[in-house]
Amino acid sequence: MLAMLCAFLAGAVGWTFTEYVLHRFVFHGSGARGLGAKEHRRHHAQVDYFAPAWQKGLAALAATAILFPLLALLVGPAIGAAGTLGFVAMYVLYEVLHRRAHTHPPRGRYGRWRRKNHFAHHFADPRLAQGVTTPFWDFVFGTRLSVAQVRVPRRLAMRWLVDQHGEVCPAYAADYTLVGARRRDEVAPGAGGDAV
């Protein structure tokens, strides 16, 4: 049982390394091409865009189809299944955490760190802060990014970040600032204009 738990945890850690490598070299690498890179570029241009669920499901299926036979051959089917399950479970958790970073306000210190780190990647320097769920590999490979305040383009601001007047909510003002002019057609709720 201990061996299976260790294999599960190793699989989860394996996903965090894979997440880092894919993000840094496949999605942001020089000459990044292919469906994943295209989807990732779109995500950076439209921060509320995420690749369709069927693509993510296919990725999990492909990872399972490759990883399980390899691990089963190396360490046996039971331990291989535990390692594969840990890898895929962490991938699914990554997808949930990544989407929630964009769609929900932070809860707790980890949620606050994760959002600030991820949005520094989006808006300060996309070559750095490649770890979406953990800073570990950024420390190991020297791609850590630390900013006092993330400068978020107003047109790309996450919904949870702004108040009813289109400004940064006071709870997040220490970590974020909005940059760029307001659009002329932008009317804050309650500031006049017709309800749509």
Instruction: List pLDDT tens digits, range 142-162.
Output: 999 999 999 999 999 999 999
Q: Measure the CA angle with vertex 88, ends 83 and 91; round to 5°.
A: 130
| pLDDT higher than threshold 70 for residue 8 | yes
| pLDDT score recorded for residue 184 | 55
CB 123 within 8 A of CB 43: no
Residue located via tokens 């309650």? 190
121 pLDDT band (50/70/90 cuts)? very high
The whole-chain average pLDDT of the chain stands at 88
- Own/partner long-range contacts of 60-64 (Cβ < 8 Å, ≥24 apart): 60/88, 60/91, 60/92, 63/87, 63/88, 63/91, 64/88
| pLDDT score recorded for residue 157 | 95
| pLDDT score recorded for residue 89 | 96
- CA 193/CA 118 separation, integer angstroms: 35
| pLDDT score recorded for residue 99 | 94
192 pLDDT band (50/70/90 cuts)? very low
Enter the pTM of the model.
0.85
- CA 54/CA 61 separation, integer angstroms: 10
Measured CA distances, 12 to 55, 86, 165 (Å): 20, 5, 41
| pLDDT score recorded for residue 31 | 66
- CA 79/CA 98 separation, integer angstroms: 28
Residue located via tokens 């970073």? 101
Measured CA distances, 13 to 72, 94, 96, 126, 150 (Å): 18, 12, 17, 23, 28
20 pLDDT band (50/70/90 cuts)? very high
| pLDDT higher than threshold 50 for residue 69 | yes
**Domain boundaries along the sequence of the chain:** 2-146, 148-196
Give kind and range of the element (H or E) at residue 150. Answer: strand 150-153
